[in-house]
Amino acid sequence: MGKVTGFLEIERQDRKYTPAADRVRHYNEFVIPLSEETVKAQAARCMNCGIPFCHNGCPVNNQIPDWNDLVYLGDWEEASRNLHSTNNFPEFTGRVCPAPCEASCTLNLEDTPVTIKTIECAIVDKAWEHGWIKPESYRDKTGKKVAVIGSGPAGLAAAQQLARAGHSVHVFEKNARAGGLLRYGIPDFKMEKHLIDRRLAQMEAEGVTFHYGVNVGVTQDARQLIDSFDAVVLSGGSEKPRDLAIPGRDLAGIHFAMDFLPQQNRRVGKEPPQDNRPILAAQKHVVVIGGGDTGSDCIGTSVRQGALTVTQLEVMPQPPEKENKLLTWPNWPLKMRTSSSHMEGAERDFSVMTKSFSGENGEVKTLHCVKVDGQMKEVPGSEFDLKADLVLLAMGFVHPMHDGMLKSLEVKLDGRGNVEANVMNYKTSTPKVFSAGDMRRGQSLVVWAIREGRQAAHAVDEYLMGETTLPR
Ligand SMILES: Cc1cc2nc3c(=O)[nH]c(=O)nc-3n(C[C@H](O)[C@H](O)[C@H](O)COP(=O)(O)OP(=O)(O)OC[C@H]3O[C@@H](n4cnc5c(N)ncnc54)[C@H](O)[C@@H]3O)c2cc1C
Ligand code: SF4
């Protein structure tokens, strides 16, 4: 602990955003980094708690008090080494993680947690800037071949760990580029994609081979593919969106969020469009159904495209402004969260159930809604209509796609329709096939995907070699 009285003397200070009126004119990131001196001062607030709850709240168990201390002391290079010992891609989590570590921080009892995510991001950004992040020389080749199917954060973390253990790693990805939802779901204004490309270059130099445009189980026979590898990791994500089966659902202008967001990400990335029916919010009244991260990304994207109005509907009641710490800390609390996209001009309404859509000439024009109570019972007399020319369904994902790869590999599913595999060995019911990330745990977070990828790599290495030194 560098500065014993830091938490008493220094106020919490976090990154700010550029003004909404400016940032909605582009798709670039808009978070303003803190100065080096300010980050050091923020790191000095860490109390190096006897029981560091932050360390447990973080899904990859980042050694937060250790690198806070290193930053305070100005040893950024060692801080980067420490950070990378638990997290392959801190520049991703430093930008898009909801930071459960900060919710767990002891100082959050006073609503002033250490700005852990900002410090993490500063460490890794500085490490790239100074050239401290290099391809890591891998050990002697083991002669074993591993296939990783799906290049989201889970697949990338697994592939990097396995290549560093000396295996010959091949990543198969159905899209034209790697990154999964990091590339095609999360908008550029939250995370610019050159950050992924920089990591891919590092991984290629470490010996990972990427095969793009290969949809395993559809354009490539899955059985044949796994026969030519010693082990296979399935990390295909949770891609089946939750639908809203109500009257009028078949009207034009009602789309899943993941039909809309990837189109814009491809435009920004100068990738050719995948279909010739662009979904655009410009000059439209947009309604986003679903109150989570995906819904928020639909708002930010719609605003940037020039929507006339954007309204977000959530069926659950409005959560409290502030949590009761004594009931929730150090766990992730349910409370009202306002994202940067919400601040860009969206209306939000809670406890709203959409009962039907109606339209003109086959195009959606109106949502017919009703208010519901906490038990999802309709409140009599609360019916109302909402104008909409574009409706985006952002109600989460139910499970991975079952057809294609999972069907042909005859992989057993769990009760929720995800791939069955436990977190001790990540093995599926099919010999030599493992699974990690959203495909195994259901829709989740980037940081959980990285954790699962790392742990699955540990399990695969142990399976192939009888022992492993990869961390879990
Ligand atoms: C719009 C949106 C915004 C989000 N925002 C955040 C956020 O801000 N912070 C956060 O922590 N989390 C966020 N999430 C969740 C997070 O992105 C996911 O939990 C995470 O990406 C899961 O990683 P994964 O590697 O398991 O799967 P994915 O990222 O889904 O990657 C799976 C990959 O597998 C490929 N694939 C699938 N099947 C096949 C096949 N048969 N053959 C070849 N390739 C295949 C897919 O093309 C994809 O590239 C968001 C999710 C969405 C949808
Ligand atoms: S809980 Fe907060 S104050 Fe304590 S060690 Fe972790 S970051 Fe530092």
What are 151-182's pLDDT values in tens digits?
999 999 999 999 999 999 999 999 999 999 99
Task: Find out whether the beta carbon of 290 lies less than 6 Å from any atom of ligand 1.
Answer: no
Looking at the 3D structure of the chain, how many domains does it have? 3
47 Cα: distance to centroid of ligand 2 (angstroms): 6
Is pLDDT of 374 > 90?
no
Is pLDDT of 2 > 90?
no
* Residue 435: its H or E element: strand 433-435
25 DSSP assignment: T
Is pLDDT of 3 > 90?
no
Quick one: which ligand is closest to 256's CA? 1
For residues 39 and 262, what is the distance between their CA atoms, to the nearest angstrom? 34
**Within a domain: residue 424?**
yes
152 Cα: distance to centroid of ligand 1 (angstroms): 5
Residues 213 and 258 in one domain: no
Is pLDDT of 467 > 90?
yes
Helix, strand, or coil here: 355? strand
Residues 125 and 77 in one domain: yes
Label residue 139 by pLDDT band (50, 70, 90).
confident
Label residue 140 by pLDDT band (50, 70, 90).
confident
CATH code of the domain covering residue 31: 1.10.1060.10
pTM of the predicted structure, to 2 decimals: 0.98
For residues 221 and 147, what is the distance between their CA atoms, to the nearest angstrom? 14
**pLDDT number for residue 179:** 98
Tell me which of 333, 364, 395 is where a domain ends. Answer: 395
Residues 250 and 391 in one domain: yes
**pLDDT number for residue 297:** 98
Biggest CA pair distance of the chain:
72
Relative to the CA of 48, which ligand 2 atom is closest?
5
190 Cα: distance to centroid of ligand 1 (angstroms): 15
Task: Find out whether the beta carbon of 406 lies less than 6 Å from any atom of ligand 1.
Answer: no
Relative to the CA of 215, which ligand 1 atom is closest?
42
**Within a domain: residue 471?**
no
CB 155 within 8 A of CB 147: no
Is pLDDT of 317 > 90?
yes
Amino acid at site 340: S
Count of helices and strands (H, E) across the chain: 19, 17
For residues 174 and 235, what is the distance between their CA atoms, to the nearest angstrom? 12
Relative to the CA of 116, which ligand 2 atom is closest?
7
**Within a domain: residue 137?**
no
For residues 356 and 350, what is the distance between their CA atoms, to the nearest angstrom? 17
Task: Find out whether the beta carbon of 1 lies less than 6 Å from any atom of ligand 2.
Answer: no
Task: Find out whether the beta carbon of 393 lies less than 6 Å from any atom of ligand 2.
Answer: no
Residues 100 and 161 in one domain: no
What residue numbers bound the domain in which 303 lies? 243-395
Average pLDDT over residues 390-418: 97
Quick one: which ligand is closest to 48's CA? 2
Is pLDDT of 138 > 70?
no
- What average pLDDT is seen over the chain? 97
53 Cα: distance to centroid of ligand 2 (angstroms): 7
Region for 57 from its dihedrals, namely left if φ exceeds 0, alpha if ψ lies in -120 to 50, beta otherwise: alpha
Q: Is residue 171 exposed (0-12), middle (13-18) or buried (19+ Cβ within 10 Å)?
A: buried
**pLDDT number for residue 137:** 75
Tell me which of 347, 364, 395 is where a domain ends. Answer: 395
Q: Which sign does the torsion angle of CA 9, 12, 80, 132 carry?
A: negative
Task: Find out whether the beta carbon of 106 lies less than 6 Å from any atom of ligand 2.
Answer: yes
Tell me which of 395, 415, 450 is where a domain ends. Answer: 395
